[in-house]
Chains A and B, each alone.
Chain A
Amino acid sequence: MLFGLPQTTSPRLQLLKNVVLFKDLSMRELAMVNSMMHERRYIADEVIFDQGEEGQGLFLVLSGRVKITLPAHVDQVLIELGPGAFFGEVALLDSSIRTAQARALEDSQIVALFRTEFYSLLDTHSAIASRISFQLAKVLAARLRQTVVNAARIQHHEAA
């Protein structure tokens, strides 16, 4: 389209709006972020990424379910993620290796936001990127707090 107007009624946009990373974005801004994402379809039991791989970006679940496991303990599911959840978010910040494996539990529709495109968003739309970064920082901080609490609890049990 020559004078591209942002889509405001796409189901995908409605779904993205429910993702905590994008909750501070307007529909127009969300459409801009949406245009940078890559959609992929994974069949049940297909591996999305492996532990030890160099991460390139984060993944968002649009439909279906994804499990996060450690390959050494495939039966032990660390977490199951449904629509609206995201994973692999640390790769949005740096090129660190993946710490776990992500695999589709059922047929899933996933969108990926890559680090390169996120960095170009920082250049062209710094306000949008900073809002996403802020939400990401809050999520990571919450997870870190939970990890510390869990570690303290385990230590307490072991001491007892």
Chain B
Amino acid sequence: MPTFAKSPAARAMPHRQLAAGPIVWIGIIAVTCLLLVLFQYVLWLIVPVMIAIVAYYILSPLVDVGVRRGLTRARAVIIVTILLTLFLILLGLIFAPKVSATIDNLPQTISEYTHTANTLFANAQRTLSKKAPMLVSAPVAANTSVLSAPANGQPAPTTAPAAPGEIVTNVADLQARYSGDVLMEAARWVPSLLLVPCITYFLLLDGPRFKRFIVQAIPNAFFEKTLYLFYRVEDQLRRYFQGLMALTFLDALCLGIGLWIFGLHEPFLLAAIAAVMAWVPYLGSICGGLLVVLVAAHDFPDPRYAWLPYEVVFLFIGVRMLDDFIFLPLTVGRSLHVHPLVTMLMFLLGGAVAGIAGLLLVMPVLGVVMVAGQIIGELLTDERILARHRHAQYLRRKRARVDLFDGADADVGL
């Protein structure tokens, strides 16, 4: 398994685990769910901030390299930002012709893949009807009605049942019905995503300064422990995103090797896309799997390779099993010191509470809330620290009233 380079925070902090009782854990789960519900309404801000934080953790080591070489932090950040911009422009120049060609041929590509999907479904039905006829008895009209139902909740239009094997009856109709919604949704997200480079730049430039600004507001009695909290949270987030990158790499590698053995075109690119889609658990995994199977069916239409899509399905399921039971708990789950069972349950809870947004955000939110909750739990149950804080308040109030009661010690309301 990949081992993560220890950050200064990780090296500086003790290895002891913070003990959290059942009440603290109930609080952690409740706060996580509440935050997920709230974040749904400001997703347009949360998603760019999350992407910016990921970019911050990826680019921070580059900024540190610049600082190590004698640059000021500001200059190092500017240079890294310029280099990143040039890199993205270069990527754009390399991939723009391909993307442009794909967009030009998009209707034809969609039709081809739709036809491939129909053929695949028809072949699957035929195979099933031969091997297990009792499973294939009802017409497939129900499938088409789900796909042709409008997005606004209106009842599905009554159409004649489609012929067996026809998954999508009218691609043009679907495009006409939903393309406007898709474009509006995309237009809504573009301004949000433009925030990403801006937020990343200021996180890199002023992150430490901002942290110091926040710490100034903390009372003296809680100062050391709260700073410890900040370092733990930061280290937790860093390890989570490192874990996520490691997981994505492992997924892409395993799937890519399998697809390469099967002989698919651009196996590792396809595997990388499926691995990134798997960031949205369950739904993203399913969509990624469908994509891979469709590409396999499209690239090998010859009847001699009729079984290839099914082999790809088994490969995909195998990689997902590896992912869910071995890679995920050992990378993302281990980085957050969360029990694998808790990891899986939180994914289910996150999805139930906040849908897709919940699935995507549950682990980073849980990581932060967990560390914050454990430290706050420790602070609030430490009678000595609370007593020191009250003592400091008493001293300040006493000084503030020293000439207001003829110098006598007055009850300062403690």
A40 interface neighbour in B13, B74, B220, Cβ under 8 Å: B220
A1 interface neighbour in B11, B74, B395, Cβ under 8 Å: B74
Residue pair A123, B8 in contact (C-beta under 8 Å)? yes
Distance (Å) between the CB of B226 and the closest chain A CB? 10
Answer whether A50 and B74 are a contact pair too, CB < 8 Å, given A119-B8, A119-B11, A125-B68. no
Task: Provide the residues of chain A in CB contact with B8, threshold 8 Å.
Answer: 116-117, 119-120, 122-123
Distance in angstroms between the alpha carbons of A116 and B220 in the assembled complex: 19
The chain B residue sitting closest to A110, CB to CB, is: B220
Does chain A have a CB within 8 A of B111?
no
A47-B388, A95-B14 are known; give 4 further A-B pairs, CB within 8 A: A3-B74, A35-B208, A48-B220, A114-B12
Distance in angstroms between the alpha carbons of A122 and B68 in the assembled complex: 10
The chain A residue sitting closest to B232, CB to CB, is: A116
Distance in angstroms between the alpha carbons of A5 and B78 in the assembled complex: 15
Distance (Å) between the CB of A102 and the closest chain B CB? 11
Does chain B have a CB within 8 A of A159?
no
Distance in angstroms between the alpha carbons of A38 and B209 in the assembled complex: 11
Q: How many chain-A residues does the 8 Å CB contact rule pick out? A: 36
Residue pair A3, B388 in contact (C-beta under 8 Å)? no
0/1 per residue, B377-398, Cβ < 8 Å to A?
A: 0000000100010011001100
Task: Provide the residues of chain B in CB contact with A47, threshold 8 Å.
Answer: 221, 388, 391-392
Distance (Å) between the CB of A13 and the closest chain B CB? 16
Residue pair A56, B227 in contact (C-beta under 8 Å)? yes
A95 interface neighbour in B13, B68, B221, Cβ under 8 Å: B13
B224 interface neighbour in A1, A5, A49, Cβ under 8 Å: A49
Residue pair A50, B64 in contact (C-beta under 8 Å)? no
The chain A residue sitting closest to B399, CB to CB, is: A43
0/1 per residue, B1-45, Cβ < 8 Å to A?
A: 000000011011110000000000000000000000000000000
B395 interface neighbour in A36, A44, A57, Cβ under 8 Å: A44
0/1 per residue, B145-165, Cβ < 8 Å to A?
A: 000000000000000000000
Residue pair B384, A50 in contact (C-beta under 8 Å)? yes
Residue pair B212, A38 in contact (C-beta under 8 Å)? yes
Answer whether A54 and B64 are a contact pair too, CB < 8 Å, given A38-B215, A43-B399, A116-B8. no
The chain B residue sitting closest to A93, CB to CB, is: B12
Does chain B have a CB within 8 A of A80?
no
Distance (Å) between the CB of A52 and the closest chain B CB? 9
Distance in angstroms between the alpha carbons of A38 and B214 in the assembled complex: 11
Residue pair B64, A124 in contact (C-beta under 8 Å)? yes
Answer whether A38 and B388 are a contact pair too, CB < 8 Å, given A43-B395, A44-B395, A119-B8. no
Task: Provide the residues of chain A in CB contact with B13, threshold 8 Å.
Answer: 95, 116
Answer whether A46 and B395 are a contact pair too, CB < 8 Å, given A54-B14, A120-B8, A124-B67. yes
Residue pair B74, A43 in contact (C-beta under 8 Å)? no
Task: Provide the residues of chain A in CB contact with B74, threshold 8 Å.
Answer: 1-4
0/1 per residue, B207-251, Cβ < 8 Å to A?
A: 010001001100011011001100100000000000000000000
Task: Provide the residues of chain A in CB contact with B220, threshold 8 Å.
Answer: 40, 42, 46, 48
Distance in angstroms between the alpha carbons of A48 and B392 in the assembled complex: 10
Distance (Å) between the CB of A83 and the closest chain B CB? 19
Distance (Å) between the CB of A87 and the closest chain B CB? 14
The chain B residue sitting closest to A39, CB to CB, is: B216
The 16 listed contacts between A and B (C-beta, < 8 Å) are: A2-B74, A4-B73, A35-B208, A46-B388, A46-B395, A50-B384, A53-B224, A54-B14, A112-B223, A114-B227, A115-B12, A116-B231, A117-B8, A119-B9, A123-B8, A125-B67
Does chain A have a CB within 8 A of B72?
yes
Which A residues from 102 to 131 make CB contacts under 8 A with B?
A: 112, 114-120, 122-125
B12 interface neighbour in A45, A119, A124, A125, Cβ under 8 Å: A119
Which B residues from 366 to 414 make CB contacts under 8 A with A?
A: 384, 388, 391-392, 395-396, 399
The chain A residue sitting closest to B234, CB to CB, is: A116
A46 interface neighbour in B11, B14, B216, B391, Cβ under 8 Å: B391
Distance in angstroms between the alpha carbons of A82 and B216 in the assembled complex: 23
Distance (Å) between the CB of B161 and the closest chain A CB? 66
Residue pair A43, B68 in contact (C-beta under 8 Å)? no
Distance (Å) between the CB of B204 and the closest chain A CB? 13
Which A residues from 23 to 72 make CB contacts under 8 A with B?
A: 35-36, 38, 40, 42-50, 53-57
